[in-house]
Structure 1
Amino acid sequence: MNIAVAGGTGKVGRHVVSIARERGHTVKILARSEGVDLVTGRGLAGALEGVDTVIDVVSIQTLSAKASVEFFRATTTNLLQAAKAAGVRHYLALSIVGADKAAAGIYSGKLVQEELVSGGEVPWTILRATQFHEFAGQVLARSSVGPLAVVPRMTTQPIAAREVAVALVDAAEAGPQGRIPDLGGPRVEQLVDMVRTYARESGQRKLVVGATAPGRLWKAMRNGTLLPEAGAAVGRQTFREWLAALKQQQVHPKP
């Protein structure tokens, strides 16, 4: 199968690329580093010629609903138009668990993405997943001011990015299925605890403080609204297992 991975250099995208290639698929990466700007559409014309399936894992780090909506509306519209023109037979998008329950911040953009994909003319599949284990490090970096890190209070069920990638390649091989079961990790965690553990294990001396605020998104983060519902698929690797494996890779990097 000829697969194009939009966002193929990102946290989950690089795993999608490597897994798809390991399984014998031909993979094209759609990213700025490869001369394709999905926001403006530059370099996208003709890029999907001969492609059977598009796997869309593009992402943006923002808490702004406006920025998120603008980003996902632009990238998804450009990709869908190019996919239709090229005769792509399957459009597979990665979304976030709870996108329709906390339509604020980045979730607003993901909901727009889902609406565009499901309402488009290219046969589609949408997989919603929870936050990746890498989320702890990203939050620590964004929330730190000197020795202090102010972290949102959030109940989450984090999943290994590689396990999400496996599920995406499986779905690509299965063909268009519409909404498939959500995917979450094996354990419910508190984000504050995850960030504290990540900081300690990575040798960063930080005072990690939990915080909250009014609003729909903050409420959903606190009360478990963003957890997968019954019937969701469940990954295997816990956050602490992932962290241990990450430390092992750093101590003994692959040649």
Structure 2
Amino acid sequence: MKVAVCGATGVVGSHVHRVARARGHEVVSLTRSSGHDLTKGLSEDALAGVDTIIDVSGIQTLSRKRATDYFLAVSRTLQEAGAAAGVSHLVALSIVGIDGVRSSYYGAKEEQERAVRAGVLPWTLLRAAQFHEFAAQTVERGSVGPLVVVPRARVRPVAAAEVADALVDLAEAGPAGEATDLVGPRNEILVDMVRALLARRGSRRPVVEVPLPGAMGKAMSSGRLRGTPDASRQGHQTFAEWLDQS
């Protein structure tokens, strides 16, 4: 099978690229670094011979408008170029528990989901919990001098590599609509994850937990982004195990 991966250099996309190639699939990377700006369209031959698109593209912003504009532009490009090239399957990645959270990035992801469902391409949508790598991203984004500011969040993190395995499984299985949510094996508190990560790095930087305002902050602190464990597919690697391997 020939697979096009959108966001192939990202946290999940790099694993998707690796897993798909390891399983013997031909992989096309659709990234800016490979000359493709998905917000502006694709050349006629970019998806030539592609059977399935796996979309794990993303943007680093808390602006709902900016994120929505990005995801809708990417979705439009993939639908139009995919239909023209005869692509038979679109697999897209989203986030567990975001229903009705019409704020910030989560609101934009809901718009992306609607675009996937309404598009002409047969589709599969996988919602996954936050990744173990979210702790390192939080340190990077929340650093204020020596201080690390962490949003109050109850999560059930999953390994990005396991998300990639699930996405390639779904690509191989064919269009299925709504896939079973994928969450991690245990509940965690984000601030504890950050402190454990810094300790593993030998850092004594002070860490402060703060509640984020608005619907997004409420969703993070409420625990709804952990999904429903008894009705969800669960990964195997815990955050502590991921730290050991990292």
The residue type equivalent to 1:32 in the other structure is: R
1:66 aligns with 2:84: no
Shift, 1:86, TM fit: 0.6
1:23 maps to what in 2?
23
On the 8 A contact 2:185/2:236 being kept in 1, the answer is yes
Q: TM-score, normalised by structure 1?
A: 0.93
Bigger shift: residues 191-200 or 161-170? 191-200
Instruction: Report 1:164-243 matches (<5 A).
Output: 164-229=163-228, 230-243=230-243
On the 8 A contact 1:102/1:220 being kept in 2, the answer is yes
Please, which runs of 5 or more residues in structure 2 have no aligned partner?
A: none
Distance 2:58 2:148 in 1: 24
On the 8 A contact 2:152/2:212 being kept in 1, the answer is no
What is the percent sequence identity of the aligned residues?
A: 53
1:52 maps to what in 2?
51
1:107 aligns with 2:106: yes
1:251 maps to what in 2?
none
1:138 aligns with 2:143: no
Shift, 1:203, TM fit: 2.4
Deviation per residue, 1:203-243 (Å, 9 max, x gap)? 22211110014311111111111111231100000011001
Q: TM-score, normalised by structure 2?
A: 0.97
Distance 1:11 1:44 in 2: 26
Provide the secondary structure at the position in 1 that maps to 2:224. Answer: coil
1:11 aligns with 2:11: yes
Distance 1:242 1:180 in 2: 25
On the 8 A contact 2:7/2:58 being kept in 1, the answer is yes
- Superposed CA RMSD: 1.0
Instruction: Report 1:144-155 matches (<5 A).
Output: 144-155=143-154
Instruction: Report 1:93-132 matches (<5 A).
Output: 93-132=92-131
The residue type equivalent to 1:80 in the other structure is: Q
Bigger shift: residues 220-229 or 127-136? 220-229
Shift, 1:2, TM fit: 0.6
